[in-house]
């Protein structure tokens, strides 16, 4: 798996307000200071941020739950009466080689549209381009596509500035765009550019 250290998260300064966090490059950790003033020697600090999908109800209903509720490309579980969408769902995506679970508002909304269309007689596979956005301080961060597996990046704009794009390529093909307050963000163009071959 590829990290996105060379994408926007690497180039963008942390601009949260109030400045309760800051991002620094270089240097080495030598100690951790606790809130009661103790200084604990440390060579390495590990932290974890993540989620565990809440699949107990689905499992109790007899559904396949493995890193989320397993669904097919139309977001249907193995029970034809039960669809599943959102953070808790492990689904096949044309944008990655295996199944994936995505945690974003846009993914949940796009998946809801796909299921709603099927329920009114317009079945179609879920193929929406993964698109993430978040407002962090005065930055609007957006990612179109999936960054994992990129082997080349192209920075457009100034590193460490408020406006920049990092285009991520795999084997010469655009797979994702990672942007900070980029005025030219064009989801439709990225949809067309990153669409996997049929
Ligand atoms: C701190 C934080 C910041 C985030 N910021 C962003 C962001 O900037 N941009 C972005 O795109 N996404 C962001 N997300 C992620 C985003 O909130 C989720 O991806 C999105 O809400 C997923 O929608 P969902 O409907 O799948 O799940 P949820 O919104 O979590 O809704 C699931 C609901 O099901 C209920 N539920 C669970 N189990 C049961 C049960 N057994 N019985 C009945 N009800 C149950 C829960 O109480 C909840 O109300 C953030 C998440 C967090 C926690």
Q: Is 103 in the pocket of ligand 1 (CB under 6 A)?
A: yes
Residue that has been written with the tokens 């301080």 in this structure: 137
Q: Is 87 in the pocket of ligand 1 (CB under 6 A)?
A: yes
Of ligand 1's atoms, which has the minimum distance to the CA of residue 57?
41
pLDDT higher at 63 or 45: 63
The tens digit of pLDDT for each residue in 61-102 reads 999 999 999 999 999 999 999 999 999 999 999 998 889 999
The tens digit of pLDDT for each residue in 104-160 reads 999 999 999 999 999 999 999 999 999 999 888 888 889 999 988 899 999 888 777
Q: In what order do the strands lie in the sheet with 89-92?
A: 69-70, 89-92, 99-100
C-alpha 31/C-alpha 65 separation (Å) is 41
| Phi, psi (degrees; rounded to nearest 5) at 52 | -115, 120
The tens digit of pLDDT for each residue in 15-37 reads 444 456 666 777 888 999 999 99
Q: In what order do the strands lie in the sheet with 131-136?
A: 131-136, 139-145, 173-180, 164-170, 152-157
pLDDT of residue 182: 77
Q: Which of 103, 130, 142 to mutate to test the pocket of ligand 1 (most atoms within 8 A of CB)?
A: 103
pLDDT of residue 15: 45
Ligand 1 centroid to residue 55 C-alpha, Å: 13
**Domains defined along the chain, listed by start:** 8-17+50-194 (3.30.390.30)
Ligand 1 centroid to residue 110 C-alpha, Å: 14
Neighbours of 19 (CB within 10 A): 9
Nearest CA to ligand 1 atom 43: 57
Structure tokens at 132: 């993430």
């Amino acid at each position: 798996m590829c990290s996105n250290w060379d994408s926007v998260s690497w180039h963008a300064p942390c601009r949260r307000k109030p400045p309760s966090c800051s991002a620094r490059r270089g240097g080495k950790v030598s100690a951790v200071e606790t809130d009661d003033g103790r200084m604990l020697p440390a060579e390495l600090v590990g932290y974890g941020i993540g989620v565990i999908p809440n699949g107990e109800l689905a499992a109790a209903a007899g559904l396949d739950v493995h890193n989320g509720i397993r669904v097919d490309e139309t977001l249907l579980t193995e029970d034809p009466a039960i669809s599943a969408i959102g953070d808790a769902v492990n689904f096949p995506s044309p944008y990655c080689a295996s199944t994936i679970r995505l945690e974003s508002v846009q993914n949940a909304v796009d998946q809801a549209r796909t299921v709603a269309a099927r329920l009114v007689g317009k079945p179609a596979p879920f193929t929406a381009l993964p698109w993430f956005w978040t407002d962090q301080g005065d930055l609007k961060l957006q990612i179109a596509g999936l960054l994992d597996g990129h082997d080349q990046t192209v920075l457009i704009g100034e590193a460490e500035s408020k406006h920049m794009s990092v285009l991520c390529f795999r084997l010469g093909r655009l797979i994702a765009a990672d942007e900070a307050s980029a005025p030219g963000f064009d989801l439709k163009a990225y949809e067309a550019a990153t669409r996997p071959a049929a």
